[in-house]
Structure 1
């Protein structure tokens, strides 16, 4: 990891139009700052509606910032044009939450993986050769290239989505709840795959999730977001085992455990924290 950050988000604000005539805009991010280094995974965790996905969308140019800046590889991309965004796609990619809707059902897996390569100027023959390598990289057989997404399980489809993100050899991948639609055993395999890919390629991840256990598994550092503001940042080990902020402690206590006695104790402690500091984490 180098001293210079790969991604720098500074005082980022995003506001959405209000509902109704002359309604004021509703601000969902209130001056958020975070960074991701080369080859690093930064976990961004918070409950539904906290603003974590909006941060990812702002980085990708899918949500327009109303204030602050986003720098990628030292360049200001806060208000990048469509042409600039297409050029950025070589180094900045995304894996979305739902493997069922993020893949074109009418294209074969080979065509899905070839598309970003061809856009970057790779010939069709070179693309086919690279597709075989991508499938091997994510643990899928070579004949998967001839099949349609509907022929695969949810975990396999997410592997295809990861392969598509890896196709242009990016520097950073925004992972927006990439395992939340999968069962627990499949989640673990996909998370292990992401860690292994990072070890081999040094790609960086901005990993967005509502689940502290998932964040702990993949992250080097963690930022906790609540109601559009970062409330705690630190190493993954500390934030996910000995959090300092009451909201982070609530997130930790909300994670289920197998022991019913311990689970009951957690629920009582979570309710106590909620009574002392605001709404309880769902």
Structure 2
């Protein structure tokens, strides 16, 4: 049995509002999840659901108001900047936009070797590692001397993946890593992530709004709705036979080629939205 790599325990995150005497708005209401070594957990939800905040809390980019983030049984919830730099060897990230996540003035070789040199590797060893990384993500060897602007969006995202892989991490947080790419490029990048996991055993926290994308790469899926995880299960179960009405809505929102089937799915989704809205109103009346 694989051991637990990441344990997010009853995590709460609140953001301060704007204006005079702003109130805090809680975006995560005690979220808990786990990721085993070598596993991919897909975290899916619509914009504003809080899914991205989970990844940012794991990376230390937001400060939780309560709860814990444990990595290899070590509490990293409030790790200092120095501790975070040490954690960078084990926890990396691939951001959404391949066009802004790479320094346009640096060559691909410099982008990939910089974190290795910072961690104490010699220039020679770092360059050797860069050559291996380029081969691993399917980019030509001469990419090492080229600038990001010379590559397509899909190729830039491969560079971003290579950068995340450079220090041989145990966990990579993938924050909507294919949403800015066209469909054919998405498929190639997703296949690349799956292949890399098989080769290296790296684990992924894969954040997305798209159930179809999550199904492609995930072992398990957690669905986030308004700051709460409302459903967790195997990728096949959650993306094929979801139990929660919100997950059912997400599944029905996915487009299909048949216009008649698409019309039926749209009508069913609207029916679920109305039913879910009524349930929320009833729950609010009871709590009041």
Do Structure 1 and Structure 2 share a fold, with TM-score over 0.5?
A: yes
**Runs of 4+, deviation exceeding 4 Å:** none
Distance in 2 between residues matched to 1:119 and 1:262, nearest whole Å: 54
Matched residue SS, 1:266: helix
Alignment RMSD (CA, Å): 0.8
Residues in 1 aligned to 2:70 and 2:20: alpha-carbon distance in whole angstroms: 35
TM-score (norm 1): 0.98
1:213 aligned residue: 212
Deviates more, 1:202-211 or 1:16-25: 16-25
5 Å-filtered alignment, 1:6-25, equals 6-25=5-24
For each residue in 1:125-162, what CA deviation from the matched residue of structure 2 results, as whole angstroms up to 9, or x when unmatched?
A: 10011100000000000100000000000000000000
Q: Distance in 1 between matches of 2:98 and 2:261?
A: 34
Rounded to whole Å, the distance in 1 between the matches of 2:17 and 2:253 is 32
Structure 1 distance, partners of 2:129, 2:28, is 39
Deviation digits for residues 63-105 of structure 1 (CA, Å, limit 9, x no counterpart): 1000000000110000000000000000000000000000000
**Structure 2: how far apart are the matches of 1:110 and 1:214?**
30
State the TM-score, normalizing by the size of structure 2. 0.96
Matches within 5 A, 1:57-136: 57-136=56-135
1:172 corresponds in structure 2 to: 171
Cα distance in 1 for residues equivalent to 2:157 and 2:205: 17
Matches within 5 A, 1:192-271: 192-271=191-270
Counterpart for residue 285 of structure 2: none
Aligned to 1:44, the other structure's residue is in SS state strand
Which residue number in structure 2 is paired with residue 160 of structure 1?
Answer: 159
> How far apart in 1 are the matches of 2:82 and 2:22?
33
In structure 1, C-alpha distance between the alignment counterparts of 2:202 and 2:119, rounded to whole Å: 19
Task: Using the TM superposition, give the Cα deviation of residue 278 of structure 1 relative to its aligned residue in structure 2, in angstroms.
Answer: 2.1
Instruction: State the 1:226 CA deviation.
Output: 0.4
Cα separation, 1, equivalents of 2:73 and 2:119: 22
Q: Deviations over 1:172-222 (max 9, x none)?
A: 000000000000000000000000000000000000000000000000000
Structure 1 gaps, min length 5: none
Alignment correspondent of 1:38: 37
The 1-side partners of 2:151 and 2:124 are apart by 25
How many aligned residue pairs are there? Answer: 278
Q: How far has the Cα of 1:24 moved from its partner?
A: 1.2
Aligned-partner SS, 1:230: strand
**Structure 2, unpaired ranges of 5+:** 279-288
- Match in the other structure for 1:149: 148
Distance 1:7 1:24 in 2: 31
CA distance in 2, matches of 1:183, 1:195: 18
